[in-house]
């Protein structure tokens, strides 16, 4: 089926969304009113100015990827790659998630972000009982980052189940509930309480918060980490992700503890401990003195942690830390992350997750990758003279 080059249409999703390309191959307009004839859903061949003029382009239906995209669609026989992600027992439609503590409970962003398109939402961490959090100041902007000391301010699990979860489930994205506690029993009790609750896709164990008492204790000792993860696994049938702290000597050892405990995946990293000072008043700026640094400043640390963990364990990694651009995402994927979480970027640009999702297919096409999985962990490390480069992972097959 052919259309004039400047009137090219193609399917973007199973909801009937249609996109119209302009003369440069960019999405000019979308509509969800049109429906494709059954014969056209299998394969469209469009005569469009993409690469060689008049070259037939095979388009594969199945995912609303280019809506609102500002990037040119790449030339090639296929440019709708497979973005699905498997994190142990958890399967997601794409690798762009939003991080806990930076996206509220989702409804705060609903007017700006098409939540249905996200790979998953990790809402604000919940605890067994309500927490007031830390005294002000709670946030301080720094060079290339944000220092925060919120202190897990939340209304507790009961309020979450009553007021927040029903809305979250209705938004259409996978809901990965972040849980935290002051002791081993808290994590196990929360996992048991959430087990079997409709609409929860997985649990993320926040054993790495630097802003509460004992916040990183369980994530800094490999054996304690293993015990917490194993206890949660026994208490729930839900997939379990362990969120690890970079504030340790050997994060790979902690990741091995999480893996040995039965974690489906690890989320890497939580914030890096830091502080800010008003030298004129000779006082710390944060009410809690010490806080957690996030944003672009910590991306090199996060990449290093992903690299080290990739070489140590064979469970998937969710990368987080300083992700602002599509280049950041691709760096995490190539280094070994199967998915990423967008955090601080959402404060500066609430629609950052949508932009990254729009730009991802073109970035994969630049590597001639038919799927996201094809590039995960494909980093080539330097080799001795005369030897071929070696893959970054000694555990995973690439």
Catalogue the active-site residues.
209
Report phi then psi at 334, rounded to 5: -65, -35
Instruction: Quickly list DSSP for 284-304.
Output: ESSTTS-EEEESGGGHHHHHH
Question: Which of 58, 2, 47, 1 has the alpha carbon at shortest distance from 25?
Answer: 47
The answer to whether 45 and 57 are in contact (CB under 8 A) is: yes
- What separation in angstroms does the CA of 319 have from each of 154, 210, 299, 360? 25, 18, 10, 15
- Beta strands 380-381 and 390-391, pairing class: antiparallel
The answer to whether 126 and 179 are in contact (CB under 8 A) is: yes
Locate 127 and state its tokens: 């605890």
* Coil/strand/helix, residue 331: helix
DSSP state of 382: P
**Quick check: bond before 114 cis, omega within 30?**
no
The answer to whether 301 and 274 are in contact (CB under 8 A) is: no
The answer to whether 358 and 70 are in contact (CB under 8 A) is: yes
The answer to whether 323 and 332 are in contact (CB under 8 A) is: yes
The answer to whether 285 and 339 are in contact (CB under 8 A) is: no
The answer to whether 128 and 186 are in contact (CB under 8 A) is: yes
Locate 113 and state its tokens: 């972000």
What residue has token string 């969800």?
32
Question: Which of 17, 363, 90 has the alpha carbon at shortest distance from 355?
Answer: 363
DSSP state of 115: G
What's the rounded Cα separation, in Å, for the pair 268 and 240? 14
Locate 338 and state its tokens: 């199967």
């Amino acid at each position: 089926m052919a259309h004039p080059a400047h009137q090219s249409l193609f399917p973007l999703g199973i909801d009937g969304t249609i996109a119209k390309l302009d003369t440069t191959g960019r999405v000019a307009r979308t509509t969800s009113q049109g429906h494709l004839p059954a014969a056209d859903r299998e394969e469209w061949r469009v005569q469009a100015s993409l690469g060689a003029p008049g070259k037939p382009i095979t388009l594969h239906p199945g995912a609303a990827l280019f809506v609102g995209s500002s990037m040119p669609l790449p030339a090639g026989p296929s440019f709708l790659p497979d973005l699905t992600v498997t994190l142990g027992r958890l399967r997601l439609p794409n690798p762009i998630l939003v991080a806990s503590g930076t996206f509220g409970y989702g409804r705060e962003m609903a007017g700006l972000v098409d939540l249905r398109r996200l790979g998953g939402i990790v809402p604000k961490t919940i605890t067994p009982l309500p927490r007031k959090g830390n005294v002000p100041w709670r946030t301080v902007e720094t060079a290339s980052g944000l220092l925060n000391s919120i202190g897990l301010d939340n209304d507790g699990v009961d309020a979450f189940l009553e007021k927040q979860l029903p809305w979250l489930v209705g938004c259409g994205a996978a809901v990965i509930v972040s849980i935290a506690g002051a002791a081993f029993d808290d994590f196990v009790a929360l996992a048991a309480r959430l087990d079997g609750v409709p609409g929860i896709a997985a649990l993320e164990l926040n054993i790495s918060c630097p802003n509460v008492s004992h916040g990183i204790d369980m994530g800094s000792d490999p054996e304690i980490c293993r015990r917490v993860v194993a206890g949660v696994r026994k208490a729930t049938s839900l997939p379990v992700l362990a969120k690890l702290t970079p504030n340790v000597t050997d994060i790979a050892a902690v990741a091995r503890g999480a893996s040995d405990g039965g974690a489906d995946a690890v989320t890497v990293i939580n914030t890096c401990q830091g502080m800010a000072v008003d030298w004129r008043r000779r006082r710390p700026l944060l009410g809690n003195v010490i806080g957690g640094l996030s944003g672009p400043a910590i991306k090199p640390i996060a990449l290093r942690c992903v690299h080290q963990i990739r070489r140590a364990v064979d469970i998937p990694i969710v990368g987080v830390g300083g992700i602002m651009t599509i280049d950041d995402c691709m760096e995490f994927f190539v280094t070994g992350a199967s998915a990423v979480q967008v955090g601080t970027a959402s404060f500066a640009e609430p629609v950052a997750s949508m932009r990254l999702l729009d730009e991802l297919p073109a970035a994969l096409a630049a590597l001639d990758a038919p799927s996201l999985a094809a590039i995960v962990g494909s980093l080539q490390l330097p080799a001795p003279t005369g030897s071929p480069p070696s893959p970054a992972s000694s555990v995973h097959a690439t």
